[in-house]
């Protein structure tokens, strides 16, 4: 019987990772958009995981969450370790998918016509209220697109995951790791099957994302006053 556990592990990892990325990405995008100085530097830092080799990201994560790190020592008191656990894979997926969320959301925020924000301020709305009532609703299609993109990326994460969580069947072996294992073991049939599943998943998500993006452009632009 074909072992479906990599699918469930992938989903178990990608879902919480997407939730973390969702929150972190929106916060990061908001912070960077509001920055007056040093935007390029912070932006570069936030985007770095996108261009670094995933193994390098995994290496940094090992430094940050490994047994000898502060975080690792704190959790080891409770007999828990991120290394070789699915929670470690969540961290890896979050780190790698974060830049995609951050970039997409930032783009959506920047597409919002400034005049809406000026108008909201002259009407006496506080910055917090403007964020909740104007920015988020207007950037909503972009936020959704970023979330889908991040989820797809989290689902397909390989390099950093194998560095921090390893390749333990039934525990940390995700779909992308399963493809690697199957090819290594010469199990062509399983490899084909996983590849097909992953390609279908990813393609559907890209279609959904493109739909959201096209909606964002129409939404955030100010329409002409008169028809």
Partner 1 sequence: MSLYVDIEKHLPGFHLRTSFEAGNEILSILGASGCGKSLTLKCIAGIETPDRGRIVLDGRVLFDSQKRINLPVRDRKIGYLFQTYALFPHMTVRENIACGLTSRDRSFVGSWVEKFYLSGLEDHYPSQLSGGQQQRTALARMLASRPSLIMLDEPFSALDDYLKWQLEQELMHIIRDFPGTALFVSHNRDEVYRMSDRIAVMGNGRLKTVQRKKELFQNPESLEAALLTGCKNISHAEYIDDHTFFASDWNIVLTSSVPVPKDIRYAGFRAHYFSIELDASLPNTMECTVTDIIEDTFSMILLFREKQNKKSGDWTGLRFELPKTLWNDQIKKDTIFLRFPKDKFLFMK
d(C-alpha 85, C-alpha 165), whole Å: 5
CB of 38 to partner 1, least distance (A): 20
> How is residue 77 annotated by DSSP?
T
CB of 222 to partner 1, least distance (A): 6
Q: Which is nearer to partner 1, 118 or 192 (CB)?
A: 118
CB of 34 to partner 1, least distance (A): 14
CB of 118 to partner 1, least distance (A): 5
d(C-alpha 56, C-alpha 49), whole Å: 9
Would you state the structure tokens that stand for residue 225, as one six-digit string?
A: 């006053």
Q: Which is nearer to partner 1, 59 or 116 (CB)?
A: 116
Q: Which is nearer to partner 1, 121 or 188 (CB)?
A: 121
CB of 177 to partner 1, least distance (A): 42
Q: Which is nearer to partner 1, 186 or 224 (CB)?
A: 224
Which residues, in sequence order, are CB contacts of 109 under 8 Å at separation 6+?
A: 29, 30, 33, 135, 139, 142
Q: Which is nearer to partner 1, 77 or 114 (CB)?
A: 114
> How is residue 186 annotated by DSSP?
T
Please say whether the beta carbons of 171 and 9 come within 8 A: yes
d(C-alpha 110, C-alpha 99), whole Å: 16
Task: Give the number of other Cβ atoms within 10 Å of residue 127's Cβ.
Answer: 12
d(C-alpha 95, C-alpha 9), whole Å: 18
Q: Which is nearer to partner 1, 84 or 140 (CB)?
A: 140
CB of 113 to partner 1, least distance (A): 7
CB of 89 to partner 1, least distance (A): 37
Q: Which is nearer to partner 1, 105 or 179 (CB)?
A: 105
Count of alpha carbons within 13 Å of 199, Cβ hemisphere only? 7
Q: Give whole-number Cα distances, 69 to 13, 20, 80, 158, in Å.
A: 22, 21, 13, 23
Binding site for partner 1 (CB under 8 A): 113, 115-116, 118-126, 133-134, 137-138, 219, 222-227
Would you state the structure tokens that stand for residue 162, as one six-digit string?
A: 């194998």
């Amino acid at each position: 019987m074909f072992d479906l556990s990599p699918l469930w592990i992938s989903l178990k990892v990608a879902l919480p990772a997407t939730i973390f990325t969702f929150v972190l990405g929106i916060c990061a995008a908001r912070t960077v958009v509001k920055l007056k100085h040093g935007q390029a530097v912070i932006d570069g830092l936030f985007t770095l995981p996108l261009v670094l080799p995933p193994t390098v990201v995994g290496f940094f994560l090992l430094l940050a969450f490994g047994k000898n790190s502060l975080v690792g020592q704190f959790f080891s008191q409770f007999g828990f370790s991120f290394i070789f656990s699915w929670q470690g894979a969540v961290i890896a997926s979050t780190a790698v998918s974060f830049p995609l969320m951050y970039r997409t959301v930032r783009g959506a925020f920047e597409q919002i016509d400034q005049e809406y924000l000026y108008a909201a301020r002259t009407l006496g709305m506080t910055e917090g209220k403007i964020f909740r009532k104007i920015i988020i609703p207007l950037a909503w299609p972009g936020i959704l697109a970023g979330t889908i993109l991040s989820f797809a990326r989290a689902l397909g994460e390989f390099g950093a995951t194998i560095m921090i969580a390893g390749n333990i069947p039934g525990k940390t072996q995700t779909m992308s790791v399963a493809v690697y294992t199957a090819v290594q073991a010469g199990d062509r049939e399983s490899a084909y099957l996983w590849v097909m599943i992953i390609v279908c998943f990813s393609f559907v998500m890209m279609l959904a994302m493109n739909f959201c993006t096209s909606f964002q452009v129409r939404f955030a632009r100010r329409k002409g006053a008169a028809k």
